Homo-oligomer: A and B are copies of this chain.
């Protein structure tokens, strides 16, 4: 219950009105020990269950995008058909298990800092992301 207040502040701080839907969404997304990865579909299910009623798909899309813009979520795109969001918005890399479609966080010690030697004139680097695709050792490629 006190958590709610945090989320209300969090939303207000980002200029987002703390509506019932957004607060529920915050609880599903951020009220947990560990960060996690989800798809829009996952999320709709989770929120509907939590609220014990439907939430409009449009609202979920809107809110996810609002959260993304505010830096509360990060999108991880695997291919044109698989896109995840990550509640861990710190700069970090990922493994993607092609067998299970599971996205796995790397922590800092897993991959050395990436050193970019190229410089594009007038452009600054916004992010550097590594995606390591893995698959079962016995089967070839998949």
Q: Does A123 contact B (CB under 8 A)?
A: yes
Copies in the complex: 2
Bound-complex Cα distance A129 to B137 (A): 19
A contact patch SS: strand
Contact A136 B123 (CB under 8 A): yes
Chain B residues with CB under 8 A of A115: 111-112
Which residues of chain B have C-beta atoms less than 8 A from A83's C-beta?
77, 79-80
Chain A, interface size category, equals 35 or more
A130 to B114, CA, bound (A): 9
Shortest Cβ distance from A112 into B: residue: B115
Name the interface residues of A113-133: CB closer than 8 Å to any CB of B. Answer: 114-118, 120, 122-133
Nearest Cβ on chain B to A70's Cβ, whole angstroms:
11
A75 within 8 A of B: yes
Does B75 lie within 8 Å of A77, measured CB to CB?
no
